[in-house]
């Protein structure tokens, strides 16, 4: 989406969201699942985010790919000029995105990763 008012992603429980425009205050209040990526156009997003249940993270290579693909889809379906501008300058502009990750959701994803790796090890040894 190209922006949101107050309480964006409030009580989000899953999925992915990409916000290209400005956000209001109290972003991510009650967010327990999913991942949000916010294009911090004004550099003030951290002040607007409710950090009670989420952490702001640096982008991984996988996040950068996800953002790029979400941007491409958004542009394809909407012809958004903002999405086009970010895509045209992606090597510079991806650094303005912030990843919002719920703390408990992150723990669950990490546990699932460890379990999957253990299963792979068992298959390899077996």
pTM, 2 dp: 0.86
The residue ranking higher by pLDDT, 36 or 2, is: 36
pLDDT surpassing 70 at residue 46: yes
Q: What is the CATH number of domain 13-125?
A: 2.160.20.60
The half-sphere exposure of 45 on its side-chain side, counting CA atoms within 13 A, is 26
pLDDT for the residue 60? 95
Choice between 38 and 1, residue whose per-residue pLDDT is larger:
38
Strand order of the β-sheet with 54-57 is 13-19, 33-39, 97-102, 54-57
Give pLDDT tens digits for 87-113.
Answer: 999 999 999 999 999 999 999 988 998
What value does the mean pLDDT of the chain take?
A: 92
């Amino acid at each position: 989406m190209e922006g949101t008012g107050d309480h964006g992603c409030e009580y989000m429980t899953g999925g992915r969201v990409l916000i290209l425009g400005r956000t209001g205050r109290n972003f991510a209040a009650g967010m327990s699942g999913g991942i949000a990526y916010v294009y911090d156009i004004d550099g003030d997003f951290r002040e607007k985010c409710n950090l009670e249940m989420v952490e702001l993270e640096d982008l991984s290579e996988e996040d950068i790919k996800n953002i790029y693909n979400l941007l491409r889809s958004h542009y394809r379906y909407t012809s958004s000029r903002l999405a086009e501008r970010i895509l045209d300058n992606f090597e510079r502009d991806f650094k303005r995105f912030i990843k919002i990750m719920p703390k408990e959701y992150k723990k669950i994803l990490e546990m699932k990763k460890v379990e999957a790796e253990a299963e792979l090890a068992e298959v390899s040894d077996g």
